[in-house]
């Protein structure tokens, strides 16, 4: 998979890809992530990429030309499955979307900023608008990093134990069960006896029960999807 991220803060996005699972996925060649500095596509001497909003009001708007030039150039080099814009007024990201994005070959992620981008970019280039939750961040970069992490870890070969992504919270509309490691007794705080029993089918049953109980208590919205067997 190839992910091209268009941003005015490429350095802000370097670190998330230099550690742990994402670093390994890139090193293995399973995913290629390119950070593209939007200012390189500015037609102005001072590398300006934003301007005052028509009609007035506070806040700058990202201009069409640099974004259009950048996207047109990328599109001339390969075909893209999605051109995603990270914005608080997009669709809220969920596991199902991550699953689908992880099957794609080439995507562009455009990081939003200021008051937003010229609406014509959204109308003519963007194929998907994604938010990571109902709160406002100062820019789309951190949202893009969250989106990339959610996608990349699902690509086959990225996680060591391929089944572990399938047992994630949300994959089956259930939250994950509690987990424990040594010591079995920490100053009287004991690990549930069943986990020490070695009886695998009872352990699986216990974990499932705990998942259901947790989901019912903490996320009744997800629990109702689980009960109805729908997404």
Q: How far is CA 199 from CA 196, 205, 212, in A?
A: 8, 10, 20
Stretch of 4-12, 49-57, 125-133, 164-172 contacting ligand 6GU, by CB under 6 A? 125-133
Smaller CB distance to ligand 6GU: residue 60 or 191? 60
Applying CB under 6 A, does 133 fall inside the site for ligand 6GU?
Answer: yes
Q: How far is CA 156 from CA 20, 165, 182, 220, in A?
A: 16, 10, 30, 31
Smaller CB distance to ligand 6GU: residue 137 or 176? 137
How many residues contact ligand 6GU, by CB under 6 A? 13
Q: Looking at the chain, which runs of residues are DSSP E strands? A: 2-7, 32-37, 50-52, 60-62, 82-92, 106-111, 128-131, 185-186, 189-190
The alpha helices in 93-162, defined as continuous H runs, are 95-101, 119-124, 141-152
Which residues make Cβ contacts (< 8 Å) with residue 9, sequence separation at least 6?
111, 139, 141
Long-range contacts of 40-46 (CB under 8 A, 24+ apart): 40/70, 41/65, 41/66, 41/67, 41/69, 41/70, 41/73, 42/66, 43/69
CB of 202 to ligand 6GU, least distance (A): 42
How big, in percent rounded to 5, are the helix, strand and coil portions of the chain?
A: 40, 20, 40
Q: Choose, by CB under 6 A, the member of 7, 42, 86, 215 that binds ligand 6GU.
A: 86
Q: Choose, by CB under 6 A, the member of 10, 66, 116, 140 that binds ligand 6GU.
A: 140
Q: Cis link prior to 206 (omega < 30° from 0)?
A: no
CB of 54 to ligand 6GU, least distance (A): 21
CB of 170 to ligand 6GU, least distance (A): 18
CB of 53 to ligand 6GU, least distance (A): 17
Q: Choose, by CB under 6 A, the member of 12, 81, 95, 139 that binds ligand 6GU.
A: 139
Smaller CB distance to ligand 6GU: residue 31 or 143? 143
Applying CB under 6 A, does 137 fall inside the site for ligand 6GU?
Answer: yes
Structural tokens at position 106: 């080439």
Applying CB under 6 A, does 12 fall inside the site for ligand 6GU?
Answer: no
Residue ranges in 46-65 that form contacts with ligand 6GU under rule CB under 6 A: none
Phi-psi region of 59 (alpha: psi -120 to 50; beta: other; left: phi over 0): left
Stretch of 16-24, 84-92, 197-205, 217-225 contacting ligand 6GU, by CB under 6 A? 84-92
Q: Choose, by CB under 6 A, the member of 10, 88, 150, 177 that binds ligand 6GU.
A: 88
Residues making contact with ligand 6GU (CB under 6 A) = 86-88, 112, 131-133, 135-137, 139-140, 143
């Amino acid at each position: 998979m190839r992910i091209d991220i268009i941003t005015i803060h490429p350095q802000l996005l370097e670190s998330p890809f230099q550690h742990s699972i994402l670093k390994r996925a890139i090193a293995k060649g399973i995913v290629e992530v390119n950070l593209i500095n939007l200012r390189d596509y500015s037609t102005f001497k001072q590398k300006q990429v934003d301007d005052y909003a028509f009609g007035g009001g506070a806040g700058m708007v990202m201009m069409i030309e640099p974004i259009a030039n950048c996207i047109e150039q990328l599109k001339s080099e390969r075909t893209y499955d999605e051109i995603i814009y990270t914005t608080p007024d997009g669709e809220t990201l969920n596991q199902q979307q991550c699953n689908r994005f992880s099957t794609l070959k080439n995507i562009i992620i455009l990081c939003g900023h200021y008051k937003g981008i010229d609406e014509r970019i959204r109308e003519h280039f963007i194929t998907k608008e994604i938010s990571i939750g109902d709160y406002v961040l100062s820019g789309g970069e951190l949202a893009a990093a969250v989106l990339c992490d959610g996608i990349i870890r699902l690509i086959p070969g990225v996680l060591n134990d391929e089944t572990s992504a399938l047992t994630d919270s949300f994959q089956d509309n259930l939250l994950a069960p509690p987990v424990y490691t040594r010591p079995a007794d920490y100053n009287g705080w004991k690990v549930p006896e069943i986990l020490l029993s070695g009886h695998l089918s009872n352990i699986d049953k216990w974990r499932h029960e705990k998942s259901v109980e947790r989901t019912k208590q903490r996320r009744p919205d997800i629990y109702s999807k689980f009960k109805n067997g729908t997404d």
